[in-house]
Structure 1
Amino acid sequence: MRVLLTGWASFLHGEATAGDVLSLRATGAALTEAGIDHRVAWSPGFRPGALHLSDALPEDYTHVVFACGPLHGPQVRALHERYAGCCRIAVGVSVPDAGDPAVTGFHRVLPRDDGGTAELDLSLGAAVSPTPVLGVILAPRQPEYGSAGRHDDVHEALTGWLAGLDCARVPLDTRLAHRDWQRCATPDQFTAAVSKMDVVVTTRLHGLVLGLKAGVPVLAVDPVAGGGKVTAQGKALGWPVVAAEDAGDPAVLDERLKWCRPAPVPPPAHPPSLAAVVAELVGQP
């Protein structure tokens, strides 16, 4: 007996959602615990170096298990055609139309919902690993720096590096908006969001300042060659800043991230601020 474990994350034109992948993980763990040999087929767009459906020869498998997601569409129907000689089982799936050939092509369907059934989703049974959460705050182009601005190059290098990390990346924006649900409406909301991060990665001055204000270590990168306001603020705070010239070196970024992660950082001390100086000046006769 050898099982080919599949799902929507297996299809070239499918999608790999967190829930789908966790459901495949939970099903695979159950097969392993039962001592059943199995392999998982992944979409080449999601995991290029893994086993793909096109490489999984039907004669190499006795069973095909399809886990999670809705049973519908030509890709599911094609699975039945390709693996016609295998016993095909669907588990933890949604069944919007019981008469759909995508459904009836399975020898056995164990639904999570089918209009009358309501079972727990498979993803609830999957193990997950502790993973750091990185809030990412990138500055827009800043024309005031002229040709010294390296924003495009710095952001390309920084986001490319971030994409290769085993971490949860959360895009954050210091710009506030009352009618855009994707942005915070108040600085209090923004600070609350930042405070939930393990590390802030930023090229913005206020990404650095508000990250530290929230007690979160900050990997700050100055997007301006020679140093701009991020570097200056880092000096004022006594906090190190990666220079634009070093942003393309993954080793520098890896080392700085490692330095940021050991423990939460206390908020910086609050010396008399420029705002207080202005208030004092305004209050003078």
Structure 2
Amino acid sequence: MRQRLPRRRILVAGWFSFLHGEATAGDVLALRRVEDVLRRAGVSYDVVWSPGFRAGALHLEEVRPEDYTHLVFVCGPLHGAQVEALHRRFAHCARIAVGTSVLDPDDPAVAGFHRVLARDAPAAPPVEDLSARAPAVPVRPVAGVILTHGQYEYGPQRRHDEVARTVTHWLAERDCARLELDTRLDTHDWRLSATPAQLLSVLARLDLVVTDRLHGLVLALRAGTPAIAVDPVAGGAKVTAQARACGWPALIPAERLDGRLLERWWEWCLTSGRVAARQVRAEFLEGSLPDSADGLLEALEVQRSPG
């Protein structure tokens, strides 16, 4: 009589599983590659996540090791006490590391695995990282975020902190790529643009901008990128005035700021808003909209009165 093999139960872990680990984009894409291989083979598995990253997922402290026959550790370097602890806790499991870096083959964190399918190791040719062949992911909107916490000249009308808090909390829940930007130039800080051209080059590559700054709005439109403008001053101030001057509709007063309005203008910016922004950009370049410099030469004719 043919002997039946025990059913495999696989637990997949990585540095993204540890309470004091971290989840990187590369690690999670490597996990997706491993999941794809297991699913295509019809192999069932569970994944454990750090509670600091995914609070509602399965966590290591909740797992009963006796429920599993195999432990698969995905991506990252094999070293340290946290990896060694896995060997002790899952001592009865077949333990496999895949897509990992081996610094020292004699390290207990490495030697504890029954099989190491390394991406790089001493005296072995490197192989492609798992993230490179992970299943394709959808392209998400890229939003530039330009906010100010200053402008104290507006005194009790300031709503800057409340605006920033509402906007950033809302953005954190959006499925988008967020890029924090500043209109301030600096020739010494590599994180900031040193010239207007550098900042405009970034703005031109975005899908939209979310800002409570006058120049965040104007420069986005100059680059042909739609912007959600929030006026952080109660009653409206220069952001409102500038949106009106430019004929830009995606404006939210601080008093009315909420997720519903942000959602409305977000969808508009990602659809017809792009065409509208390019139209404003064309008007800027043509000089068809007036600005205060148009009256400068006439103003220079003014003579100071004696005395």
TM-score band w.r.t. shorter chain: over 0.9
Q: Name 1:66's counterpart in structure 2.
A: 73
- The more displaced of 182-191 and 112-121 is 112-121
* 1:266 has 2:282 as partner: no
> Which of 131, 137, 156 is 1:128 aligned to?
137
- The more displaced of 53-62 and 197-206 is 53-62
| TM-score using structure 1 length | 0.96
Following superposition of structure 1 onto structure 2, how do residues 147-226 of structure 1 map, counting pairs within 5 Å?
147-226=156-235
Distance in 2 (CA, whole Å) between partners of 1:9 and 1:169 is: 22
* Deviation readout 1:16-38 (Å, 9 max, x if unpaired): 11111111111111111111101
CA contact (8 A) 1:66 1:91 kept: yes
Report the alpha carbon displacement of residue 88 of structure 1 after superposing the two structures with TM: 0.7
Q: Name 1:112's counterpart in structure 2.
A: 119
* 1:56 has 2:56 as partner: no
Report the alpha carbon displacement of residue 282 of structure 1 after superposing the two structures with TM: 4.5
> Which of 274, 277, 281 is 2:295 aligned to?
277
Q: Name 1:145's counterpart in structure 2.
A: 154
Distance in 2 (CA, whole Å) between partners of 1:145 and 1:11 is: 46
Counterpart code for 1:244 = A
Superposition misfits of 4+ residues, deviation over 3 angstroms:
279-285
Taking a change above 3 Å as real, the CA distance of residues 236 and 132 of structure 1, as seen in their structure-2 partners, is same
Distance in 1 (CA, whole Å) between partners of 2:157 and 2:144 is: 26
* Deviation readout 1:153-212 (Å, 9 max, x if unpaired): 111111111111111000011000011000000000000001111010001111100111
Distance in 1 (CA, whole Å) between partners of 2:152 and 2:188 is: 27
Distance in 2 (CA, whole Å) between partners of 1:187 and 1:175 is: 9
Distance in 2 (CA, whole Å) between partners of 1:282 and 1:64 is: 79
In structure 1, stretches of 5+ residues that fail to align are none
Taking a change above 3 Å as real, the CA distance of residues 280 and 26 of structure 1, as seen in their structure-2 partners, is farther
Report the alpha carbon displacement of residue 56 of structure 1 after superposing the two structures with TM: 1.9
> Which of 30, 35, 39 is 1:23 aligned to?
30
| TM-score using structure 2 length | 0.89
Counterpart code for 1:277 = G
Taking a change above 3 Å as real, the CA distance of residues 235 and 35 of structure 1, as seen in their structure-2 partners, is same
* 1:90 has 2:97 as partner: yes
Taking a change above 3 Å as real, the CA distance of residues 145 and 79 of structure 1, as seen in their structure-2 partners, is same
Report the alpha carbon displacement of residue 115 of structure 1 after superposing the two structures with TM: 2.7
Q: The residue matched to 1:35 in structure 2 has which SS? A: coil
Counterpart code for 1:78 = A
> Which of 12, 31, 40 is 1:33 aligned to?
40
Taking a change above 3 Å as real, the CA distance of residues 154 and 114 of structure 1, as seen in their structure-2 partners, is same
Q: Name 1:233's counterpart in structure 2.
A: 242
Report the alpha carbon displacement of residue 280 of structure 1 after superposing the two structures with TM: 6.0
CA contact (8 A) 2:149 2:161 kept: no
> Which of 264, 273, 287 is 1:255 aligned to?
264
**Count of residues in Structure 1 that have an aligned counterpart in Structure 2:** 284
Distance in 2 (CA, whole Å) between partners of 1:193 and 1:86 is: 50
* Deviation readout 1:122-155 (Å, 9 max, x if unpaired): 1111121111111000023101111100111111
CA contact (8 A) 1:213 1:267 kept: no
Report the aligned-residue RMSD. Answer: 1.5
* 1:75 has 2:82 as partner: yes
* 1:42 has 2:49 as partner: yes
Counterpart code for 1:163 = A
In structure 2, stretches of 5+ residues that fail to align are 1-7
Q: Name 1:3's counterpart in structure 2.
A: 10
Q: Which has the larger radius of gyration?
A: 2
Distance in 1 (CA, whole Å) between partners of 2:76 and 2:293 is: 54
Distance in 2 (CA, whole Å) between partners of 1:64 and 1:47 is: 20
Report the alpha carbon displacement of residue 267 of structure 1 after superposing the two structures with TM: 4.5
